[in-house]
Amino acid sequence: MANEQALIEELSKPEYASLSDQEAADAVNAKTVTTRQPVDSGTLQDACMALGVWAKLEAAAEAGKADPPASLARTMMQRLNANRPIDLDTPAVQTMTANMISFGLMTQDEADTMDALADVSVPWTSANDVGEVGIGLVITCRRQMTAEAISNG
């Protein structure tokens, strides 16, 4: 079953008011939104290499040193070599990124470039668990919208 409430809320927006049912269905199906998703550690490692961050990590990660830049660099390199997704929005990762910036292991611009890797464009219908929207579903939702407006009226 489609998430009709999400579709009703979407179809209530002014940009759909003048559209035919078919045009509204087409517009909803074409709409995309940006969501945040974990990023493969290999993709992040490639970005670090391309941006020059990996070289800074290698230089800072001297064996036997326990100071924060060295230990932080080693930890970061281990996480990037772990071959697993990394959720860039967790507090631990955000703290690690902030510390890397403060120790000069990456710049804010480099961090922003890597952070953008978690932004993924997906169909609005997928993000809202609506499924493919056809003319029939639009008609049904618009009828519900009209009935609600009359009952609240």
pTM, two decimal places: 0.74
Q: What is the pLDDT of residues 72-105, one digit of tens each?
A: 999 999 999 999 999 999 999 999 999 999 999 9
Q: What is the pLDDT of residues 10-37, one digit of tens each?
A: 999 999 999 999 999 999 999 999 999 9
CA 7 from chain centre, in angstroms, equals 21
In sequence order, the 6+-apart residues with CB closer than 8 A to the CB of 18 are none
**Domain segments of the chain: what residues?**
4-35+122-152, 36-119
Q: What is the pLDDT of residues 104-128, one digit of tens each?
A: 999 999 999 999 999 999 999 999 9
